[in-house]
């Protein structure tokens, strides 16, 4: 039935349209006359000549006539842009409902001109001032994979949540370019959450969601099994989870969490997250043992700190040094526990400088001084990177990374210059 209708409206004039000249003349007289009831009947009749239906859409201003035209499945699609601009919302709503029914058959390949007319009209309706019209379009198009991208793009940018949210969350016709633009410009957190919860998400969209720094949306993304997250983005998520504890449980439960990232998470996560990591069955025994050992060290460190809570950090550091227990693991545990005072005191002792200098270095929020201090303290470059991020709060673009994954990237002379500038002896 629908195909017959499509064939009928593929042009204003079909070969058999004027095979009854008398009927055509009667219809033309009605279309140009003043009998409203007759014109409404004519406008709603599927057998009315195409050109006369178009004529009425273009010339007649009566809402009753135009509503009948908008509902008539035989009204030429070419008239849709005209009706989409009608001043009467009932007419526009009737047109929206009809175009939605026709759209699956009006594909670009078979009926490109008609499709263009329909898309033009739907694009106008997607910006309609009447909310229920936009809602109707969103409701009909959010699960239609062949929906016109231009139309769903407009609906996705709607400020009304009930219009845009279904499109943002479910519409597969909405492309990455639109999603990226919306993530940069949409003011509402629920919009970011809707995108984060889409059935499938590309790596570039996952990164863009994290770039918004929206905590609830980040949690939704981490839980989303259909979200592709690159290793770089996942590392960023792990780093941010130090300050966003609500992400930690979601990360610990995420499928296919790389073992090295699980071990990183174990260094700062709370006890409930630790249990989740230990209970995972997809880590080999060696990884599970390393995670368990990390937890044990942290518990020991926390317990010792509690027992020595009246002892200043600098004295705790000296005690550990005398016992030959002041090393990178100990400082890492303190960093994981957010014990800044102990970390700074430990670095001062290990680098042979004073606490004030170390605190000044981290307050600079610059990468090279932190790297030079770490080198002087005989810490690994990987740990220096942690210090840049977690204690120095160095901007991502300014971070200095290990060369070849492990080595310090600055030359010996560059290290000496930094230390001299900072007032730290390089012995």
285, burial (CB in 10 Å: exposed 0-12, middle 13-18, buried 19+): exposed
Cβ neighbours of residue 67 under 8 Å, at least 6 residues apart? 88, 90, 91, 94
Give me the phi and psi of 415, to 5 degrees please: -65, -45
Let me know: does 119 contact 151? Beta carbons within 8 Å: yes
Smallest CA-to-CA distance from 350 within 394, 305, 312, 318 is with: 318
Burial 114-138 (b: 16+ CB within 10 A, else e): bbbbbbbbbbbbbebeeeebbbbbb
State the DSSP string of 223-273. H-TTB---HHHHHHHHHHTTT-GGGHHHHHH-TT--HHHHHHHHTT--HHH
Per-residue confidence (pLDDT) for residue 15, from 0 to 100 = 47
Per-residue confidence (pLDDT) for residue 310, from 0 to 100 = 67
3-class DSSP assignment, residue 407: strand
pTM, rounded to two decimals? 0.72
Let me know: does 366 contact 398? Beta carbons within 8 Å: yes
Give me the phi and psi of 10, to 5 degrees please: -75, -5
Cα–Cα distance measured from residue 369 to residue 365, given in angstroms and rounded to the nearest whole number: 9
Which pair of tokens denotes residue 396? 């991502």
Q: What are the pLDDT tens digits along the chain (427 aa)? A: 444 454 555 555 454 555 678 899 999 999 999 999 999 999 999 999 999 999 999 999 999 999 999 999 999 999 999 999 999 999 999 999 999 998 888 865 555 788 899 999 999 999 999 999 999 999 999 999 889 999 999 999 999 999 999 999 999 999 999 999 999 987 688 999 999 999 999 999 999 999 999 999 999 999 999 999 999 999 999 988 988 889 999 999 998 888 888 888 887 787 778 778 878 888 888 887 887 777 666 666 656 655 666 688 889 899 889 999 899 988 988 887 788 999 999 999 999 999 999 999 999 999 999 999 999 999 999 999 989 998 999 998 899 999 988 899 999 999 999 999 999 987 6
Let me know: does 39 contact 48? Beta carbons within 8 Å: no
Beta strands in 300-361 (DSSP E): none
């Amino acid at each position: 039935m629908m195909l017959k209708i499509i064939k009928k409206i593929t042009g204003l004039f079909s070969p058999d349209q004027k095979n009854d000249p008398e009927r055509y003349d009667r219809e033309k007289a009605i279309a140009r006359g003043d009998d409203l009831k007759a014109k409404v009947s004519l406008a709603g009749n599927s057998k009315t000549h195409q050109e006369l239906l178009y004529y009425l859409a273009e010339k007649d201003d009566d809402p009753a006539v135009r509503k009948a035209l908008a509902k008539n499945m035989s009204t030429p699609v070419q008239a849709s842009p005209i009706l989409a601009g009608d001043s009467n919302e009932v007419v526009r709503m009737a047109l929206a409902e009809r175009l939605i029914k026709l759209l699956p058959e009006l594909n670009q390949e078979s009926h490109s001109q008609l499709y263009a007319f329909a898309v033009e009209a739907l694009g106008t309706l997607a910006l309609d001032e009447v909310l229920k019209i936009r809602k109707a379009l969103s409701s009909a198009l959010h699960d239609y994979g062949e929906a016109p991208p231009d139309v769903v793009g407009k609906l996705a940018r709607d400020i009304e949540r009930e219009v845009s949210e279904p499109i943002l969350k479910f519409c597969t016709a909405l492309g990455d370019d639109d999603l990226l633009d919306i993530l940069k410009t949409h003011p509402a957190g629920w919009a970011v959450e809707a995108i984060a919860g889409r059935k499938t998400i590309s790596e570039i969209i996952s990164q863009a969601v994290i770039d918004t720094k929206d905590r609830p949306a980040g949690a939704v993304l981490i839980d989303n099994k259909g979200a592709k997250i690159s290793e770089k983005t996942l590392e960023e998520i792990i780093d941010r989870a130090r300050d966003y504890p609500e992400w930690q449980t979601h990360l610990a439960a995420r499928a296919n969490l790389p073992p090295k990232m699980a071990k990183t998470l174990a260094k700062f996560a709370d006890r409930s997250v630790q249990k989740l990591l230990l209970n995972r069955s997809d880590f080999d025994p060696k990884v599970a043992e390393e995670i368990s050992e990390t937890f044990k060290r942290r518990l020991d460190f926390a317990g010792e700190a509690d027992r020595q809570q009246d002892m200043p950090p600098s004295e705790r550091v000296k005690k550990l040094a005398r016992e030959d227990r002041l090393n990178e693991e100990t400082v890492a545990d303190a960093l994981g526990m957010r014990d800044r005072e102990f970390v700074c005191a430990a670095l001062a002792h290990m680098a042979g400088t004073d606490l004030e200098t170390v605190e000044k270095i981290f307050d600079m929020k610059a990468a090279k001084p932190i790297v030079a201090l770490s080198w002087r303290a005989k810490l690994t470059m990987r740990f220096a990177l942690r210090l840049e991020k977690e204690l120095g709060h160095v901007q991502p673009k300014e971070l200095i990374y290990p060369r070849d994954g492990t080595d310090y990237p600055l030359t010996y002379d560059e290290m000496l210059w930094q230390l001299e500038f900072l007032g730290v002896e390089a012995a």
